[in-house]
Structure 1
Amino acid sequence: MREVIISRMSIDHFRGYRNKQIFDLTKGSNFTVLSGSNGYGKTSFFDAIEWVFTGKLFRYEEPNEEKSKSHFINYQPFEKPAEVKVELQTRSATFILTRQAVNFDGASDYGPNKSFLSLTSSDGKRYYEQEAVDKLNDLLISEEWRDKLDFPSVFTQFHLLTQDKLKHFIQGLKGPARYNQISNLLGTSRFKEYGLTYKQIKNDISQKMEKIEKVISDTTTKINFLNNRINTDQLTNFDGHSKFELFLQSSIENYNYNINQVNLDKINWNINANDVSTLNELSKQISSRVLTSINDLNIRKNKISNEIRNAEEVYSNKDLFYLNQKKVEILEILIPLQIEERNLESIIRNWNSYADYSNQETEINTRISTYTSQIEQYSSDIDKLKGISNLISEFMASPLKVNNINFQNSIQKIESSLIKLQNSIGIYNISPKIINFHDLLLSLQNNNIEESIEKFTSEIESINKQKQEVSNELSNIKLLINSMLDTEEDYKNVLNLTRDYILKQHLHNDKTETDCPVCNSTFQKDLLLNILNEKISSNNPQIIENIKIQENLEQKVKVIEDKFTKLINSFNEQLINYNEFYREKYTITSELVNKFEKELFSLRNQKDELRNKLKNLQEQQDEIRKIIDLLRLPDNSNELLQYVNQRLKEIKNITNSYKDLDIEVSQETLDKCKILINNLEQKLSNSGFGNFDPELKMYIARQTEEVKLLVDVISNLELLSDKFTKQQETLNNNKDYLELQNLKQTLNEHNSKYQEEKKILIQVDNIMDAVDKLVEEMNNQILHDNEELINNIYKRIYPHPFFTNIKLELTTNNQGNNTLQIKCFKDDNSQLEVNPTFTFSTAQMNVVAISIFLALALRQQCTNLRTILLDDPIQSMDDINILSFIDILRSMSSDHSFSGSFNKQMILSTHDEKIYRLLNKKLRFLNTQQLRYIDYNSSGPVISY
């Protein structure tokens, strides 16, 4: 796909630009930001780009008489023709598009044939007008859309967004026009051509319908002939009139006379027709009008009768109204006195507590203080008891047991746990109240477990010492035995060698004597073998003795070990007893904790009861003070009591004076009286009167006379209606008229056939409509495919806290035209939706239009132009919307997770200095350039690059 950008442009004598301004847009390959105050020429920059591509300005396309008499394309006063050039750059070529104003001498310089277009390619070849448009389409329309779209017609939809377009798309366009615009944008309108196939079928049906229409026409001619003959023969007497039309005119005059008396509309018809059918239809219409008038007059008569009944009912309640008014006056006197009486009696009832409040308050506060001290002491003691209980529990958690293998470590652990327990217990100062627990602590601190451990340790050390001594002796004797066994083995090895030698030399049978080479003793050679055998078979007595010694020592070791095991078992039994001792103490401690917690709970309840009592006293005191302040009673106690008693007597006297009236003194009674009065007043008001004066009676009399008049008029109209009925009966007995009716039946039958053919025609139309439906479905699918991106943009701008989604809905209006409706709804409830046109503010509607425009502009594949122009799109947005919108713009170039990289050239403007600085900050890491419109003078905009 060939990509094209706007690299340069020049504006000369176009709108607000007097001097030629050249803009190099290559410095902002990602963003070009135009900033400056309104009126400095920023919008004219976008107008110039739109004009050079399309020859039009969107916001001036609406019909306007003033537009046709104004000059606004050329700089005024006129000096030279306006000219705008745009340089379009691809990777390999450059094209220059030029539009120049012409025909500017007329009443207006805007409109068709008011400009001239040319396109110059990089090889110098020039194209003009339609040829230039065709070449522009080849350059900027993608291959698959070529010959289907015209670039000037889609430029403003995909590449230029202005404030006027935002408002026009959401509010300016009606549903069908918005649908057609979307169809053109999406390129689906071309599929409507398939409907032409059914056009011929429609034409065939139309011809058949024309033949039926001829039969209908012939039948109508015969009907007219009979009408004329019936009228000429004058065979019918119309209620004493020789002609039908005279009867109708007389009936109209009779009707108008009666109707005039009751102010209904007259029949202002002049009977000019002379055919019976037409006159009969007029007769039916007049008869129907008479019957309608009778019905209307009956309705009016019934309405006035109801008003009379209501007025009579209202008038009959006159005495009841005044009686209840009197009751209200009395109750509004007695009810405040009743309330005052109750308040004063309350003071009398609570007088003693009120007068003695200070003493009671002091006494209760003293008792509360005492309870508070006791609670603090109990809480402290309970915390200490729990601390000791936890210590005992921790001590019991350590295993109080000595094992045979590692008994020294076991003893050390027991001693360590014991020391920790006793040292910890020693830090608690228990309240003297807890005498039994104090004894418990002493028992915990003064038990004899340490003596037992010391005794056990001493005995263990003595046994270990004995065992060590015996073990050393055993080890020595074992070494000696092993050494002797080694020597003995060597000795017998020598004897065996000697014996083997004697046997081998056969010396064992020699009886001669010889000397021993070792000891020089003389012995017989044959006895030597016997001696050797005896020596070899004999055991060393010393070794045997040492083995006995070893066995005795091993027995001693076993005895010592048994004694060691017995001692450890005995000590472990003692430890079990100690463990039970501490378990018992733990139980006692826990029981004490429970006991004191119950006592603490009781103390707190008693303290709360005192507080509630004090609160009630204070509330009584406050209530009496409110009454005193409300009634402005004296503060002095004696004067107060005297005044209260005196005032109660006065109130009693006043209430007694009304006792004979038999009125229940209550707010409920007062409310009922007021409701009754209000209802009666409402009925009186509905009757049109402000009070129960004589005029109401006169009104009843006038309305009664009106009813009598209506009855007379209705009776006269009913007589007239009877005449019309008789006239219809007379006419129906005429033979020509009967034939006329048969022809009319024939006419109706052909009309039915005509309607059947018309139904077939409608079916063909439906098939043709199906083509439109297919286009609608294609549009719907394409819009659905883009809806995610539209909502992605819309949500990120966050225009509305509740309606956070956009839905583009294709529907059909009452005229059968396809429409595009834009709706907004909430995520979790799509049934709750609104039309932003009538619900959203201008800023919120702008965000909706921006979201749709950007999504379509970013996703569109029909043009090769990378450029998107945004003329001050941030107007009316609040700060959150602005930040979000700028982040979206930045994401289009830097964040590939934002629906991919779109690789667009963005040119936008803003009049807000704060937004301009924010744009610079947010876009500083992208390829961005700024055009500052700093002033405007007689030469046009002053721009800082």
Structure 2
Amino acid sequence: MKIKNLYLQNFRCYKGEHHFKLDNQTTLLYGENGYGKSSFFDAIEWCLTGNIMRFTKSEEKSIDKKIILNRHAQYGDKCSVSLEIGSIILQRSFTIKDNPREIISIKDSSTTVAVQGKKNVDRYIRDRFGKKTSNGKILTSLIKQSHILSQDQITDFVLRDKPKDRFNSLADIMGYRQLLNLLENLKKVEDNLKNFSKRHQSNIATYDDLMKSKSKDKKEFDIYEVHNLLHELNIDLNNSNPRGELNHQKEQIINDRVTLEGKLNVLENLNDFEQFSYSHIENFMKDSQKHIAQANENGNRIAMLLSKNDKEINIISKRLGDISNQKKLFEEKQLLKEKINQLKSSFENVDASSNYIEEIENQLKKEEIKQQKLLYAKSHQGNYKSYQKEKSMYPLKLNSIELNIQKASRRLKKSNIYLNKLKNLLESEDQLTSINSLNNAIQEIYSYVLKNNISGVCPVCSTAKGENLSVAILENIQNNLSLISTSSKKITKINKIIKRLQNKIESLSKEIQLLEADKKNLEMNLLIIEKNILKIKKDYLYSEQLFFVDASKVEKKLKESFEIVETLNNNKIKFFELSSLLNQLEGFSEVNFKSSDDVETSLVKRKKQLDQRKNMLQIFKKQQEANKLLNERKYKEEHEKLLSLTKIIKPGEVSLPLSVIRKEIQKDFQNLNEKINKIDLALEYYLKLQENLHIENDLKELQSKIEIEKSKLDDHEKKIGDISSFREKIYLQIGDKASDLLNKPNSSIQKYFRYLNPLPGNNNILFNSPNSEELEIVLSYDEQEEGKEDLPSVQYSMSSGQLYVLAISIFLAINEAQDVSEFNFVGIDDPIQNMDDVNQFSICDVLSSIEKQLIFSTHDFNFLKLYLKKNEHRKNSIKVFILKNDDNSVTEVQEVNFNESKEKF
């Protein structure tokens, strides 16, 4: 239930009549200190409760009327506050004179007085707005404590320095001070009653203690949950051994889980291959085998060349010792020529003198770059195409959202036009208020005439009417009531239409906000996709041509590239072999039979050439051996992984990626864990059930003995039971100690304070009650688990701004969880006193998140602008009243219209 309107007349610094239309979700009052912000909340408190606690500090003591009337009001003027709540108007007023009498009434929507008098109004408020759980006798006081936070409450809480005073202050804020007093009084009555039945209750207490001791041993659980759990596990309670069957099931499931753990451990070691299937790994092994075989072949060729080279060196060494063997060299020369001719057939178009090896190396480098680009295209091609497809769909989605926004905006504009027309029409009916006031005045005159014998003379105009005076006054009253009724029906009809339009406007505003949010999310996703596309394109391995080729063609090109590299390496080895033979032949070219000296010189030269070639072949041999070791190690790793996979891969899963298989196994593993947890829970329930059955039999026997003793008690026992039941019910609501409610880690007070507290670190607020009516508020740290008495008080370890934050946190939590009334509003008087910028930002966020009707004031224009800026998306649900002051009497209440431009504001 929300507050719709507040009407003030000569109340405190509000001179004359003022109207606050509180029809928005959030209402802000801005004004300097002393301009009437606190008086605004005083008016709501006085109208609801008949008191203003910051002036009386007592709920029983009535407030001095001189405090609340405007100092410029004249004798005979009226001081009043009216609250329109739902379909009724609650009004509290008095006429300024000596010993003024306060009048309180409730009027219906037609401004007809429905209820009058303090007791009747209190009963009406209790029945209409109070919840069943609240104490009706102190309902109005509780409403103030749970819905309105005034400046004096915050200051009072901050300045308290004694544990008992702080407890009393918190009890006042939380609204259960009277409950605590009432419980204490009832305890005394209960003790007196117990004296009359002490003899019988002594026996009952003994049996009751035994039952409590037995009851503490009972385990609490839901029997229906037990039956459902056992049914789910296919366990029959009538079975002779449910426990054994559950343990048997658990053992089987644990064995299955161990098997799945082994499979998951195998897959954990295959993270590098999670995107590949078992078949892919087999193909990788075949490729590795080919590379190893080729490396072996190349190694054999190099070994053969080295062997030949060494042999030739040995031969030359021998020939140097024996020139007579020149003939044999000549024969070898002929043999070399034959081999050279055979190898030359493989290099018909190659110039032996050219940089053939360098050309092959260049070709190998080009192929390696090509392979890298192919691999890059293979791994990123799918994501790239997916991003492009998503990007192409965005314009259509964005256009659809923009069209919906335009449609909703047109409907919203049209609804606002209709709403303004109806409001103007409603304002033209304001004459009803003046007629109603006139009629009330005439009714008071009529009552006065009936009670006092005034000889037929009108007490207003002194006209003599004789015996017809009361009849004439009654006719005027009836005529006015008829006019009021006609106008009221029309206003009621207009109000219903306005309400429907306001609901429609609110719905359209929310719809536009949601569409704008969807548009923003869509644009953000598009930006992310474009960044991903740009990231792929910026890589130096990106090739636009390859990214638009089919994946199978990329795979084919990659295979062809590997074959080209293998062919080039083979040609490289053959060319080395040919070069070696040509060099050998060159050594034989100078061999002749005329001079042994010439032969020796040529042999020395040839041996030098062979030594150089040997060095080159040994270097190449090391490279080939390194490549071979790398391929062998890779093959061994893949072979081990393949063997481990063979144990866990099913025949139908050989073509599935390992990541898919792993997810399925993890899912099965999770299901087994859940089933084990259910079995453990079922075992725990079964044991509890067996224990409870034995305890229940003992309790039944004790209960029968208690019933025998209770039959001997008189009416005093029933009264004691009623009082005890009432006290237990109240204690369940508020807790034996304040700390029981406040220290729960998930309580609203702790959540609000953790959010609002700007201090870094792991510090927490702790409410410590050394005694039942004492409360210490200390600052604790995560590393401090015990020794609450040694923790520092917040009064000495927190700033005044933080203490304000703590008090506001307590109030917001109480309002959020209040079980006092049906009222759905929050009122806070200037919540940012003594707060720095960080505190103000935090409290601004908290106020923005409140979903109830929010009414708060501020003296800080920057904070007002901050709140409006952070809530710009819902500015149509916010209303601002600017208070202007003249000689401590408010002369103007300016309402800000957000339909106008923000610059004007």
Q: TM-score range by the shorter chain?
A: 0.3 to 0.5
Q: Which has the larger radius of gyration?
A: 1
TM-score normalised to structure 1 length: 0.37
TM-score normalised to structure 2 length: 0.39
